Amino acid sequence: MKKPRFAWTLTAVAALAVGTVVVMQSCAPSAGSADMGAIARARGLSDADVVAALKTYQPSGARDEYLTFASGGQSGQVLVIGVPSMRLLKMIAAFTPEPWQGFGYGSEEHKTLLAAGRMAGRDIGWGDSHHPALSETDGDYDGQFLFINDKANPRLAVIDLRDFETKQIVANPNMGTNHGGAFVTPNTEYVIEPSQYSVPLWKDYAEMDRYAEDYRGVVTFWKFDRQKGRLDAAASFSLELPPYWHDLSDAGKGPSFGWAFLNSFNTEMATGGVEQGKPPFEAGASQNDMDYMHVINWQKAAQVATQAGKTRMARGMKVIPMETAVAEGLLYLIPEPKSPHGSDVTPDGRFIVVSGKLDPHVTVYSWEKIKAAIDGKQFTDNDRYGIPILDFASVINGQLEVGLGPLHTQFDDKGNGYTSIFLDTRVTKWRLDPLEVLDQVDVQYNVGHLVAAEGDTKSPDGKYLIAMNKWALDRFNDVGPLLPQNFQLIDISGDKMQVLYDMPIGVGEPHYAQMIKADKLKPFQTYPQIGYDPGTMGPAKNAVLPGKERIERRGNEVHVYMTAVRSHFNPEHIRVRQGDKVTIHITSVEQAHDATHGFAIAKYNINLSLEPGEAQTVSFVADTPGVFPYYCTEFCSALHLEMTGYLLVEPQ
């Protein structure tokens, strides 16, 4: 390796090892000092700090090599972060109305989109997003779509990566909550959504003492129609599962293609009741030494789901009952160590790595051995629902002690795994075959998920790993009792892992993320034509071209055909009568990169973002009389403040 050019800083810093703080205060270089050594000394930066800065800093105008799509946690959104700079590029509105993007503030497209995500007859104004999944082709990220789950209100969202906008929300009527999705099969045939806390499946209500009889887990395989860019509920199917609590899933690839692996906990089927002196869930659900990994043949299940008499409908969704799943050989159980959490298939598809929150090991299952046991019908037992159980010892490749509270594993390009160790608050790097711990690095603090560059594909890149830490404690300036999460970028290109950068996430508790090579993404710079509808990703039905602006009255309906361009709306006056239904079709006739306009109407809770070429429709009842300015909310030009108009609502 070439000697770093700035190795001299080590000497400089060593000489100043005592009294760095004093140095900081007494010898601050003059503003504009170009002496790197003096700056590093004055700021108290170690040699390693300077190296980390050089590895992450992006000069103005330089682009990042990777983009990370991180869940936004309770914000219900998705964060887009550049790597290695760890700059936040965008927050994509997914489940939660978001004003900058004008998501859910009057646009008809968003009304329809969000209405599909209604649950229990309610508009849901948030989501608890956990697991984003990039679409894959042949086991590699293809850069076309992103899926994300909402744990709280069992839903999935589909984001089109041509414009980084949410196109669809689907609600799952058969789950209380979901958790272990979204994960995709290697060609995005299906998006996997497993339930977490089981609820009654075949009836709407059952007492807790009927838990084992009436409560059920469910895993839904949502068929993805890539052409339409939509999940197709009619072509999707679910499997009825025992009322264990299901956790993370992953899809097999390579030799394990066609199968999915789904963790569970609370196989004790504890029902809690601490207030009645019963064991609390945390104790009741942790009694057994083993829970069950569910091994599911989704490829065969997809065929079974099309056969007459093999499915039952539950709340409009096609479900394969457990007896059918067992009879058809679709579902098997394998013991897995106490309260497992992560389930991760290795890039070559040969192993499945599971970590138990209450077990200091990673357990590495061998697909070859699992398949042989299934084919040879070598079962030790059935669970109480008749599902065959495989023998733990004969299907594992081994176990490796990695630390206290292992959660999730990612992979690099050299046959290594990286496991987050929650309780020890570090990352353990280990070799898959033969099993051996290679390195450990402390992270701050209590790491949940990890994400590695292209880490879920069949060909990970190595290079970078992000530790998504739950606690920040002393890492940042205090901002009151609610602290941000801490994303730490780790260099994994060498033998020793090095933490390079801390990024605070102040919008929610992200869980998982996926990191894609930036050059795989081919986003639009502007919409491809004037009058483009992001809802259908095609020409808008109600596009308004320059010169065709007008206002039409049909009874008590007023239709406004409007254009937006720097620096005016046309028309600038909209005169209606109180009680009229007003529909504004508005098209941005801009074609210049980044020439965004907004369209907001005061006091009517209406706000749109109009990207170049975009057409949108907004509809409302003008029930409040008065005079309401509308204006452009983006500082688009020198005459941006003049980009305005008046809505006159004449009193009845």
Distance of closest approach, residue 549 Cβ to ligand CUA, in angstroms: 16
Distance of closest approach, residue 468 Cβ to ligand CUK, in angstroms: 7
Q: Which of 284, 312, 634, 646 binds ligand CUA (CB under 6 A)?
A: 634
Of ligand CUK, ligand CUA, none, which one sits near residue 449, judging by CB under 5 to 8 A according to partner kind?
Answer: ligand CUK
Of ligand CUK, ligand CUA, none, which one sits near residue 130, judging by CB under 5 to 8 A according to partner kind?
Answer: ligand CUK
Distance of closest approach, residue 403 Cβ to ligand CUK, in angstroms: 15
Site for ligand CUA in 558-577 (CB under 6 A): 567
What is the 3-class SS of 200-212, one letter each residue? ECCCCCCCHHHHH
Task: Tell me, residue by residue from 580 to 599, as one string, x for binding to ligand CUK by CB under 6 A and - for no binding.
Answer: --------------------
Site for ligand CUK in 145-174 (CB under 6 A): none
Q: Which of 41, 253, 341, 350 binds ligand CUK (CB under 6 A)?
A: 341
Site for ligand CUA in 574-603 (CB under 6 A): 597
Distance of closest approach, residue 214 Cβ to ligand CUK, in angstroms: 26
- 632: contact with ligand CUA by CB under 6 A: yes
Q: Which of 66, 141, 224, 512 binds ligand CUK (CB under 6 A)?
A: 512
How many CA atoms are closer than 13 Å to the CA of 36, on its beta-carbon side?
13
The structure tokens 């701050």 sit at 444
Of ligand CUK, ligand CUA, none, which one sits near residue 201, judging by CB under 5 to 8 A according to partner kind?
Answer: none
Q: Which of 248, 643, 647, 649 binds ligand CUA (CB under 6 A)?
A: 643
The structure tokens 């983009």 sit at 67
Integer Cα distance of 652 and 246 in angstroms: 58
Of ligand CUA, ligand CUK, none, which one sits near residue 511, judging by CB under 5 to 8 A according to partner kind?
Answer: ligand CUK
Select the span of 20-28, 163-171, 459-467, 633-641 touching ligand CUA (CB under 6 A): 633-641
Amino acid at 296: I
- 487: contact with ligand CUK by CB under 6 A: no
Pick 45 or 600: Cβ nearer ligand CUA: 600
Cα–Cα nearest to 406, from 443, 435, 447, 467: 447
Cα–Cα nearest to 77, from 637, 446, 508: 508
Of ligand CUK, ligand CUA, none, which one sits near residue 368, judging by CB under 5 to 8 A according to partner kind?
Answer: none
**Residue 434 preceded by cis peptide, ω within 30:** yes
Pairing of strands 557-565, 581-588: parallel
Of ligand CUK, ligand CUA, none, which one sits near residue 632, judging by CB under 5 to 8 A according to partner kind?
Answer: ligand CUA
Find out whether 430 and 446 touch, Cβ atoms under 8 Å. Answer: no
Find out whether 468 and 511 touch, Cβ atoms under 8 Å. Answer: yes
Q: Which of 354, 407, 543, 584 binds ligand CUK (CB under 6 A)?
A: 407
Query: In this structure, what token pair is assigned to residue 576?
Result: 């209606």
Query: In this structure, what token pair is assigned to residue 363?
Result: 């357990």
Pick 123 or 642: Cβ nearer ligand CUA: 642
Of ligand CUK, ligand CUA, none, which one sits near residue 643, judging by CB under 5 to 8 A according to partner kind?
Answer: ligand CUA
Distance of closest approach, residue 179 Cβ to ligand CUK, in angstroms: 6
Q: CA angle 383-389-395, nearest 5°?
A: 155
Pick 131 or 597: Cβ nearer ligand CUK: 131
Burial class of residue 535, CB neighbours in 10 A (0-12, 13-18, 19+): buried
Query: In this structure, what token pair is assigned to residue 328?
Result: 């058809």
- The two counts, helices (H) then strands (E), for the chain are 11, 45
Of ligand CUK, ligand CUA, none, which one sits near residue 640, judging by CB under 5 to 8 A according to partner kind?
Answer: ligand CUA
Cα–Cα nearest to 506, from 535, 537, 472: 472
Site for ligand CUK in 435-454 (CB under 6 A): 448-449
The structure tokens 């069950």 sit at 292
Integer Cα distance of 379 and 332 in angstroms: 9
Of ligand CUK, ligand CUA, none, which one sits near residue 597, judging by CB under 5 to 8 A according to partner kind?
Answer: ligand CUA
DSSP string, 418-433: EEEETTTTEEEEEETT
Pick 567 or 619: Cβ nearer ligand CUA: 567
Pick 74 or 567: Cβ nearer ligand CUA: 567
Pick 399 or 567: Cβ nearer ligand CUA: 567
Cα–Cα nearest to 388, from 438, 437, 333: 333
Pick 158 or 608: Cβ nearer ligand CUA: 608
Query: In this structure, what token pair is assigned to residue 275?
Result: 């207030």
Of ligand CUK, ligand CUA, none, which one sits near residue 426, judging by CB under 5 to 8 A according to partner kind?
Answer: none
Select the span of 92-100, 342-350, 391-399, 629-637 touching ligand CUA (CB under 6 A): 629-637
Integer Cα distance of 1 and 167 in angstroms: 48
Integer Cα distance of 550 and 539 in angstroms: 20
Distance of closest approach, residue 594 Cβ to ligand CUA, in angstroms: 12
- 118: contact with ligand CUA by CB under 6 A: no
Select the span of 11-19, 319-327, 409-417, 635-643 touching ligand CUA (CB under 6 A): 635-643
The 8-class DSSP code of residue 244 comes to: S
Give the residue nearest to ligand CUK (CB). 448
Q: Which segments within 252-310 are labelled E, that is strand? A: 259-265, 290-297
Q: Which of 110, 130, 246, 310 binds ligand CUK (CB under 6 A)?
A: 130
Integer Cα distance of 447 and 485 in angstroms: 10
Binding residues for ligand CUA, how many (CB under 6 A)? 8
Find out whether 366 and 354 touch, Cβ atoms under 8 Å. Answer: no
Helix (H, G, I), strand (E, B) or coil at 367: helix
Q: Which of 636, 645, 647, 649 binds ligand CUA (CB under 6 A)?
A: 636
Helix, strand, coil percent values for the chain (each to nearest 5): 15, 45, 45
The structure tokens 């490796």 sit at 400
Select the span of 279-287, 329-337, 618-626, 634-642 touching ligand CUA (CB under 6 A): 634-642
Q: CA angle 312-314-319, nearest 5°?
A: 50
Q: Which residues contact 524 (CB under 8 A, 6 or more apart)?
A: 162, 163
The structure tokens 């009255």 sit at 553
Cα–Cα nearest to 91, from 74, 108, 113, 69: 69
Pick 68 or 144: Cβ nearer ligand CUK: 68
Which residues contribute to the site for ligand CUK (CB under 6 A)? 130-131, 179, 248, 341, 407-408, 448-449, 511-512
Which residues contribute to the site for ligand CUA (CB under 6 A)? 567, 597, 632, 634-636, 640, 643
